[in-house]
Structure 1
Amino acid sequence: MKRILVLLFPITFLIQCTHSNNSIPQTSFGTIDRIENFSSNFFAPRTIDIWLPDQYTPNKKYAVLYMHDGQMLYDATKTWNKQEWGVDEVMEELMNQKKIEDCIVVGIWNNSKTRHSDYFPQKPFEYLLKSYRDSLLHKVQRDHETNLFSINVRSDDYLKFLVQELKPYIDQHYSTKKEKENTFIMGSSMGGLISMYAICEYPEIFSGAACLSTHWVGTFTDKNNPIPHQFITYLDNNLPNPDTHKLYFDYGTETLDALYEPFQLQVDSIMRKHHFTNKNWKTSKFEGHDHSENAWKSRLDQPLLFLLSND
């Protein structure tokens, strides 16, 4: 079944909603509403998967968690690496146990070709020397055939899409708690970076961010790399108010995650400098965890409990 929705915002969207059992991930708990080709004034249309818990009812208001890399969240049979976050299982278990507040999850699919450009924090990027920026854009490769950045960095536009287009749609069509105190954002790797960037750029929208395996190096090396310094300097200058915001960080010790500890320790110092405590900030190290959905799935309860706890 397909339906066309015309939404009357300050901006008019045309969204094609496709409901196909073949394309929508299979979940163990809850249901997924899919919006295919969610149009944007900022970039090409994206697929959006909205997960609703089994007990969802329009008669109740729900917190909202926005997650990046939305195609990786629910169904390993449909992902490129046959791994998933297991969001539906972990969310449902924690909600049934009354450990976290009731919540819906909005998964924003990535565009694999532009993912690095969409998720790399733009203001820190622009503080890099022009010669280094040009080198990143034109010389650094993802593999032997593909540049790491297919286009210029545009994470500011990605966040405008989230805040100006997607969130108004979600709040209009679902039974949500609209205020920042009940709006959260989460991602891993580059998704961790853009989650950190989102809460710093839009502290009036997001009250909590979870940054798993945050890709502080920005590329694939920590040697002579000025990127982490720019990320940390940006964080130092733009952290939100610790009285009203929460940040969660973690990292493993294997594969790409093995690069992160020195930079995460610097971030931890910045958090303490700005008077974040264990009430509003958590950093966890997971020995033996690698850089994968399987690893993030195994510890997903930790950021969820930190951001959404009923305690």
Structure 2
Amino acid sequence: MFKIFILFVFILPCTVKAQFKVDFTVHIPKETNDSLFIAGNFNNWNPKSNSYYLTKKDSLNYFIRLNLSEGVQEFKVTRGSWDKVESKKDGKPIANRTINLNVDTVMEINIENWADNFKQVKELYRFGDHVHIVDSSFYIPQLDKHRQIWIYLPKDYAKSKKKYPVIYMQDGQNLFHANPPRPDEWAVDSVIDSLIKDGSKEMIIVGIDHGGKDRLIEYNPYDSQYGKGEGKAYVSFLVETLKPFIDKNYRTLAEPKNTSVAGSSMGGLISMYAILKYPKIFGSAGVFSPAFWLAPKIYDDLTLSLPSLTNSKIFFVAGDKEGPAMVRDMKKVYDILNPNGTNKNIVFNEKEDGKHTEWFWHREFISFYKFIEK
């Protein structure tokens, strides 16, 4: 026993990724009264984290020193929210900045402009004729809030009398393909149209817009450094208010085997919690790049809930380029649910090129859809 312990002690550190010091100097084009923050895959893309606050050197220059893990890190600079994220000179979105760490690094960043300096063109977007807004201000009694609710109906919906399975998805504002295209869309309607054309099952998608600055608490069932978690009330809203409304007003197959829940990042966390809490409502879940790091209590709750999840179908996916903790934490949840790896209803997908971004989730949505339609 003693020899085994010693071996464990010497092997374990080898599995920990190295940390490197990174000095970021940020130059801005015009003096601002706002504080600057750095948001990336290393902090779950939180646009206003006090731990990632930049120190002001002078009116146009800011600085932060971070210790980041080895490998590819992605980030952007914000002024405290995603409405105030850095942009190109003409206001168009920039791609995520990247840095591949294997040594201590000094990086200079020149901000060309800020997104909020330009008129928003949200009202100019157009969506497919089978994507509709159910309600631009749907009331959530459990939280005393309002949210916009979207719905995708298969193209044959109006011509048929069939009933359809339903997927409830978080971050509804980014789900559907817009014209002109947006850089942050899943385009699930385009994906499903193509899959149906190739013979896949038709389904309805219901999208719920998130709460903006409240997202880190609205999609968290537990309290965290960002505030008191509202996720339990939010999931109750899905089950007690939204689903009954959708089932009443649309032709749905309402039983668990035809009801799914899905989302990414914080949306992945709350989707996992939804099926954990209500396995007799949601028969399957799509857990994309889940933010389990912000909710460690979920491991205990999952362990206690194992017997009720026997027949659940759960699809996990994350990428190696999302930071060292993402795949590790997701694997921990998977191992709780499927310790022997023999349950084909619980699948684990690790993608070498996967990034914490919509194009990755758009691509992986195909596999999720085919998984739940079986």
Which one of 304, 323, 336 corresponds to residue 270 of structure 1? 336
Equivalent in the alignment of 1:281: 346
| Structure 2 residue corresponding to 1:73, chosen from 162, 175, 179 | 175
Alignment CA distance shift 1:243-1:267 (3 Å): closer
- Among 146, 150, 153, the alignment partner of 1:49 is 150
The one-letter code of the counterpart of 1:166 is L
Whichever residue aligns with residue 218 of structure 2, its letter is D
Contact 1:29 1:89 in 2 (8 A): no
Bigger Rg, structure 1 or 2? 2
Determine whether 1:117 maps to 2:217.
Answer: yes
Does residue 298 of structure 1 match 2:363? yes
Does residue 62 (structure 1) correspond to residue 164 (structure 2)? The answer is yes
**Deviation at residue 234 of structure 1 after TM alignment:** 1.8
CA separation of 1:170 and 1:78: change in aligned 2, threshold 3 A:
farther
Cα distance in 2 between the residues matched to 1:23 and 1:177: 33
Residue 261 (1) aligns with residue 331 (2): no
Letter in 2 for 1:118: E
Compute the displacement of 1:25 (Å): 5.5
Indicate the residue corresponding to 1:141 in structure 2.
none
Quick one: structure 1 residues 87 and 263, their matched pair in 2 at CA, closer, same or farther if it must change by over 3 Å? same
Equivalent residues in 2 for 1:145-184, closer than 5 Å: 149=226, 151-184=227-260
In structure 2, the partner of 1:251 is 318
Q: Distance in 2 between matches of 1:187 and 1:94?
A: 19
How many angstroms does 1:33 deviate by? 3.6
**TM-aligned CA deviation for residue 26 of structure 1:** 3.2
Asked if the contact 2:279–2:309 (Cα under 8 Å) also holds between the matched residues in 1, the reply is: no
CA apart distance, 1:182: 0.6
Q: CA deviation at 1:73?
A: 0.6
In 2, Cα distance between the equivalents of 1:291 and 1:32? 27
Report what 1:32 is aligned to.
Answer: 132
Q: Mark the CA change 1:161 to 1:292 in structure 2 (over 3 Å): closer, same or farther.
A: same
SS at match of 2:157: coil
Q: Which amino acid aligns with 1:268?
A: Y
Deviations 1:142-183 (A, max 9, x none): xxxxxxx3x521111101111111111100100001111110
1:212 aligns with 2:288: yes
Deviation at 1:299, TM superposition (A): 1.6
SS of the residue aligned with 1:113?
helix
**Match of residue 17 from structure 2:** none
The one-character-per-residue Cα deviations of 1:11-56 (angstroms, maximum 9, x if unpaired) are xxxxxxxxxxx75953457332431111121221110001111111
Length-normalised TM-score, structure 1: 0.74
Residue segments in structure 1 that go unaligned for 5+ positions in a row:
1-21, 126-132, 137-148, 219-226
In the alignment, which residue of structure 1 is the partner of 2:303? Answer: 236
Task: Give the SS at the match of 1:83.
Answer: coil
On the 8 A contact 2:185/2:359 being kept in 1, the answer is yes
Distance in 2 separating the partners of 1:51 and 1:155: 24
Secondary structure of the corresponding residue to residue 272 of structure 2: helix
Contact 1:189 1:214 in 2 (8 A): yes
Deviation digits for residues 88-137 of structure 1 (CA, Å, limit 9, x no counterpart): 111111122223x2110000000112111111123xx4xxxxxxx5xx1x
The answer to whether the 8 A contact 1:120-1:194 is kept is yes
Gapped runs of 5+ residues in structure 2?
Answer: 1-121
The answer to whether the 8 A contact 1:28-1:89 is kept is: no
Find the aligned partners of 2:136 and 2:246 in 1 and give their Cα distance.
14
User: In the alignment, is residue 105 of structure 1 matched against residue 170 of structure 2?
Assistant: no
Structure 2 distance, partners of 1:283, 1:177, is: 27
In 1: Cα distance, 2:174 partner to 2:330 partner = 25
Query: What is the DSSP-based 3-state SS (H/G/I as helix, E as strand, rest coil) of the residue aligned with 1:185?
Result: strand
Identity over the aligned pairs, expressed in percent?
33
Counterpart contact for 1:242–1:280, Cα < 8 Å: no
How far does residue 77 in structure 1 lie from its aligned partner after superposition?
Answer: 6.1
SS in 2 for 1:178: coil
Distance in 1 separating the partners of 2:244 and 2:328: 38
